[in-house]
Amino acid sequence: METVSGVESPLNSRETPSLPLPLPVSRAVTKLGEDINRARRRRRMTQQSLAERIGALVTTVKRLESGDPRIPLHFVARTLYVFGEIDRLSQLLDSGQDEIGLNLMDDQ
């Protein structure tokens, strides 16, 4: 690990410091997991079936539904695709709708 001013830096390391999740992030991820669980059950789909459709293991689906924040984004995206909701993901930070970003650009 490199040192910068005598302090260890993770710049050239495979390890990255683990930051605690802010409470709003934790709540949002947990809610998303609950919503995915509910959407799957409403569609009468088993966890095994969803796992097969997103190319994951059943344990991954269980972790996804329990709100595990370490689930790779592509599994979340594939799940949204299976449920016909992928457009909602693609619109999250649409640059044309980013009022703060657009206002900051205008100020420059």
Spatial contact of 30 and 22, defined as CB atoms under 8 Å apart: no
Q: pTM for this structure?
A: 0.76
- Residue with more model confidence, 32 or 4: 32
pLDDT at 3 over 80: no
Question: Any bridge partners for residue 8, and if so which?
Answer: 3
Mean pLDDT of 6-29: 71
Distance CA 79, CA 108 (A): 39
